[in-house]
Structure 1
Amino acid sequence: MSNPLYTRLQATAKRLIEKYGQAGNIRRITPPDPVTGGDGTATDYPCRLFPASYDRRYVDGTNILASDKQLYIGAIGIGVSPKVGDVAIGADGTEYHIVHNDPNNYDAVTNVVFIVQGRIL
């Protein structure tokens, strides 16, 4: 059973991302069949996201680049949990390759918000 505090935090995060964020997609590419080969299959999952710039003090040029964005992705109504290797696509068509993820799951039950590091390649 989820903690009511985290459920309220999840609803607050959803409300703020709905208000200030944009429509987007999480694109997950499944690997090809190891026997028959071929190309991987791309599947898009609709989401709401809010891209924010990193504070300059965190940009070190190695782990976090100046062009990287923090992507706040709403946890309610998304079909998957964003993970490293996925691609987040913003409303303007900008593709952010997810290089680090943080699910903000404090009680191991409720995903409050997904905060991922997106890199434009």
Structure 2
Amino acid sequence: MLNPLYARLQLSAARLVTKYGQQGTVTRITHPDPVEGGSGTETAYPAKLVPLTYDHRYIDGTNITTADRQVYISSDGLAIVPAPGDIVTAGGVTYHIIAGDPNNYDGITNVVVIVQGRVVS
């Protein structure tokens, strides 16, 4: 059953990301069929997001590097849940998603998706 509290939290998060963030894309690449072959397809989904620098206490140089960004992605109206292997583009910078947290407290509503993005070099 949908909890109205989490729906309100999702709308509040979407409003804040829209106010302080920017327009970007989350791109999912589907791999070709292992039997039939072919080429993978890229599908870009528009998203509102905010890339932030990690606090220095979290940067260990291995799991989180100085080039990584913590990207808050509004889940309101987003067709997919960003996951490792997807690509996020924001402000002309492209990030590979290394880890993700959909902030899903009730098992139904994703309030906001927070991902670790590593700059593509």
- TM-score when scaled to structure 2? 0.96
- Aligned counterpart, 1:23: 23
Q: Confirm or deny that 1:40 pairs with 2:40.
A: yes
Q: How many residues align?
A: 120
**Residue 46 of structure 1: SS of its match in structure 2?**
strand
1:84 aligned residue: 84
Counterpart residue identity of residue 99, structure 1: I
Large movers: runs of 4+ above 2 Å? none
* Structure 2, unpaired ranges of 5+: none
Identity of aligned residues (%): 57
User: What secondary structure does 2:25 align onto?
Assistant: strand
Partner of 1:51: 51
Distance 2:16 2:55 in 1: 20
Report matched runs for 1:60-75 at 5 Å. 60-75=60-75
- Distance (Å, rounded) in 2 between the aligned partners of 1:18 and 1:87: 20
Q: Unpaired runs of 5+ in structure 1?
A: none
**Deviation of 1:16 (Å):** 0.2
Distance, in Å, in 1 between the alignment partners of 2:35 and 2:108 is 36
- Give the TM-score normalised by the residue count of structure 1: 0.96
User: 3-state DSSP class of the match of 1:100?
Assistant: strand
Which digits, 9 at most, give the CA deviation of each residue in 1:1-28, with x for residues without a partner? 2212111111110000000111011100
CA distance in 2, matches of 1:110, 1:47: 17
Match of 1:99 in 2: 98
